[in-house]
């Protein structure tokens, strides 16, 4: 097994990629027009018909689909093949509202698993590996996706699901897990538990594939040091299949988008204008191979930058930066845009762990923001004067980053509740 799962596709020339995308786009638009009355209605409203779409240059003529469209058309409105052709449904985690469900044909499942297999191989996986899948199994796509990908590569697959940390550690040690797949917050939790038990040198872990939620470079360094592995990012969303829409290669400098299945665009979220590579904006995807749930110009609300510079790994698919939060993740506090990822960067730079919580409230018509973060073994103190000094230091760094003041509370190690799936980092009491 080389370092690619599907070398011909992963290293295709730009011309080949564009030609393939154009051909598949034309077919997919026709498929949507014929089988999705909801989307056909949107196209008609915009005055576009399938004959207007002859290739990727015409993409911008097509209407967008938003999460709200999926909710309005719930549950069957975006299913484009008869139910008898579908073999699976999966559902979003509902991080930002009502869950969305997506349908899959067998070939949709296969291509999704192929995308995940590419991610595993890019992280150094071969059939000699033992892949420990601690993403949740079930409706959430994390477990099922990496599980299928691991099978395709031929790895020994441990379908651990999340939770039961004792059992996770026992299997990891007894079966010699080499690649760990889970959310970055759960990886950090497992890393703490492993170091507390002092069993790190009894493990064979070499790599981790972590995604489903935002995590910073600082958190990557923490996890890599804590577990003695290389930690790779993986991105995806249920609406497009699940994890594996994009994945990191050996360079760890952005995630290659599987452009043979998804066309990526970056738009200005306010004006909807398409932005060139290198500009920051909202990521929009068109799925060109999925049959059961073919989303065209789907607005992800994830904010990031695309980069088409040549990657030393040899892959030719464009790379996306780590999402810098979702457009709807962004908090507006005292009129200022605040992304949780900015706060995480400050905390980790100052040596705190990523166990933090942001509590936003409104008192007497004024927004308040409190950042609670755990002290850890390296900076723990129970001297109140010392704690106040440390809190002030965090406060100043936050003010420099965000431009507004925040209340900082250093709390005892392990006092913030851990999550086995996606971490809950923001508590916005203003909505309640
Ligand atoms: P939900 O929107 O309910 O969380 P999903 O479970 O399908 O639905 O999660 C998809 C979302 O998770 C993405 O749109 C993105 O915001 C986030 N996400 C997935 N992978 C990553 C990643 N590697 N880095 C940052 N965010 C990610
Ligand atoms: Zn690369």
> What pLDDT is recorded for position 393?
95
pLDDT at 326 over 80: no
Atom number in ligand 1 closest to CA 93: 3
Residues 218 and 358 in one domain: no
Ligand nearest the Cα atom of residue 311: 2
Percentage of the chain exceeding pLDDT 90: 78
Ligand nearest to the CA of 249: 2
In the sheet that 179-182 helps form, which strands lie side by side, from edge to edge? 156-158, 130-133, 179-182, 207-211, 230-237, 242-248, 255-257, 319-320, 298-307, 280-287, 262-267, 274-275
Protein residue whose Cα sits closest to atom 9 of ligand 1:
237
| Statement: residue 338 has pLDDT above 70 | yes
pLDDT in tens, 110-123: 999 999 999 999 99
Least confident of 23-32, 128-137, 319-328: 319-328
Cα–Cα distance between 305 and 303 in angstroms, integer?
7
- How far is the centre of ligand 2, averaged over its atoms, from the C-alpha of 300 (Å)? 23
Which mutation among 94, 236, 285, 304 tests ligand 1's pocket best, with the greatest number of atoms within 8 A of CB?
236
314 and 400 housed in the same domain:
no
Q: Are 339 and 268 members of one domain?
A: no
Say whether both 265 and 395 belong to one domain.
Answer: no
Q: Which of 244, 301, 302, 339 to mutate to test the pocket of ligand 1 (most atoms within 8 A of CB)?
A: 302
Identify whether residues 242 and 265 lie together within a single domain. yes
Residues 404 and 295 in one domain: no
Tokens coding 257:
């988008």
Give mean pLDDT, residues 181-208: 96
Percentage of residues of the chain with pLDDT beyond 70: 97
Out of 141, 213, 282, give the residue to mutate to test ligand 1, the one with the largest number of ligand atoms within 8 Å of its CB.
Answer: 213
pLDDT tens per residue, range 224-277: 999 999 999 999 999 999 999 999 999 999 999 999 999 999 999 889 999 999
Tell me how far CA of residue 215 lies from CA of 100, 232, 309, in angstroms. Answer: 23, 11, 23
Among 283, 308, 324, the domain boundary falls at 324
Do 120 and 254 lie in a common domain?
Answer: yes
One domain, residues 360 and 266: no
Q: Which atom of ligand 1 is nearest to the CA of 67?
A: 2
Atom 10 (ligand 1) nearest CA = 237
| Residues 72 and 100 reside in one and the same domain | yes
Q: What is the CATH number of the domain that holds 243?
A: 3.40.50.12780
Residues 187 and 150 in one domain: yes
Query: Per-residue pLDDT tens for 5-25?
Result: 999 999 999 999 999 999 999
pLDDT exceeds cutoff 90 at 354: no
Residues with CB under 6 A from ligand 1: 92-96, 211-214, 233-238, 300, 302, 322-323, 326
Centre of ligand 2 from the C-alpha of residue 306, in Å: 13
Q: What is the pLDDT of residue 1?
A: 40
Which residue's C-alpha comes closest to atom 24 of ligand 1? 214
Mean pLDDT over 328-352 rounds to 84
> How far is it, in rounded angstroms, from Cα 395 to Cα 346?
10
> How does DSSP assign 152-185, residue by residue?
HHT-EEE---S--HHHHHHHHHHTT--EEEE-HH
**Residue 245 CA to ligand 1 centre (angstroms):** 11
The predicted structure's pLDDT at residue 328:
64
Domain-terminating residue out of 297, 324, 351: 324
Shared-domain flag, residues 266 and 370: no
- The whole-number average pLDDT for the span 294-301 is 96
Domain coverage including residue 344: 331-431
Q: Look at residue 10 and give its three-state secondary structure.
A: helix
CATH code of 340's domain: 3.30.300.30
The encoded tokens of residue 221 equal 């360094």
DSSP assignment string, 134-146: -SPPSSSHHHHHH
Q: What is the pLDDT of residues 108-167, one digit of tens each?
A: 999 999 999 999 999 999 999 999 999 999 999 999 999 999 999 999 999 999 989 999
Q: Average pLDDT of 205-222? A: 94
Domain boundary among 279, 298, 324: 324
Q: According to the model, what pLDDT value does residue 378 have?
A: 86
Confidence of residue 398 (pLDDT cuts 50, 70, 90): very high
CA separation for the pair 217, 233 (Å, rounded): 10
Q: How would residue 322 be classed by pLDDT, with cut points 50, 70 and 90?
A: very high
To the nearest 10°, report the CA torsion of 187, 190, 195, 199.
Answer: -110
Domain count, the chain: 2
Measured from the Cα of 322, ligand 1's closest atom is 24
Predicted confidence (pLDDT) per residue in 57-82, tens digit: 999 999 999 988 998 899 999 999 99
Query: Ligand 1 test: best mutation among 66, 95, 324, most atoms within 8 Å of CB?
Result: 95
Do 143 and 229 sit in the same domain of this protein?
yes
């Amino acid at each position: 097994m080389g370092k690619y799962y599907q070398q011909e596709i992963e290293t295709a020339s730009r011309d080949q990629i564009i030609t393939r995308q154009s051909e598949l786009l034309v077919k997919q638009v026709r498929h949507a027009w014929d089988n999705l009355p909801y989307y056909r209605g949107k196209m008609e409203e915009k005055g576009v018909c399938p004959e207007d779409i002859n290739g990727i240059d015409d993409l911008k003529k097509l209407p967008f689909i938003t999460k709200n469209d999926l909710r309005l058309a719930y549950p069957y409105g975006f299913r484009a093949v008869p139910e008898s052709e579908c073999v699976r449904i999966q559902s979003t985690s509902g991080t930002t509202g009502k869950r969305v469900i997506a349908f899959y044909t067998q070939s949709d499942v296969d291509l999704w698993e192929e995308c995940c297999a590419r991610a595993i191989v890019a992280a150094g996986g071969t059939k000699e590996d033992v892949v420990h899948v601690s993403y949740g199994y079930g409706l959430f796509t994390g477990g099922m996706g990496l599980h299928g990908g691991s099978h395709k590569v031929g790895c020994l697959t441990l379908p651990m699901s999340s939770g039961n940390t004792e059992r996770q550690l026992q299997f990891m040690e007894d079966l010699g897990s080499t690649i760990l797949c889970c959310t970055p917050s759960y990886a950090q939790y497992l890393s703490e538990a492993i170091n507390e038990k002092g069993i790190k040198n009894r493990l064979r872990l070499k790599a981790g594939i972590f995604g489903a939620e935002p995590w910073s470079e600082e958190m990557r360094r923490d996890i890599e040091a804590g577990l003695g592995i290389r930690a790779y990012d993986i991105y995806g969303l249920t609406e497009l299949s699940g994890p594996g829409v994009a994945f990191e290669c050996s360079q760890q400098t952005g995630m290659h988008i599987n452009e043979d299945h998804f066309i990526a665009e970056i738009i200005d979220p306010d004006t909807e204008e398409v932005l060139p590579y290198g500009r920051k904006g909202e990521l929009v995807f068109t799925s060109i191979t999925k049959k059961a749930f073919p989303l065209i110009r789907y607005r992800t609300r994830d904010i990031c930058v695309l980069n088409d510079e040549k990657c030393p790994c040899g892959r030719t698919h464009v790379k996306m930066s780590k999402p810098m939060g979702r457009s709807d993740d962004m908090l507006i506090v005292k009129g200022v845009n605040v992304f949780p990822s900015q706060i995480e960067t400050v905390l980790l730079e100052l040596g705190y762990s990523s166990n933090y919580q942001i509590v936003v409230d409104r008192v007497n018509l004024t927004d308040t923001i409190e950042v609670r973060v755990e002290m850890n073994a390296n900076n723990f103190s129970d001297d109140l004067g010392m704690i106040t000094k440390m809190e002030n230091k965090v406060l100043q760094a936050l003010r420099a980053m965000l431009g507004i003041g925040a209340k900082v509370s250093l709390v005892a190690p392990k006092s913030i509740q851990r999550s086995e799936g996606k971490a809950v980092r923001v508590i916005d009491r203003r909505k309640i």
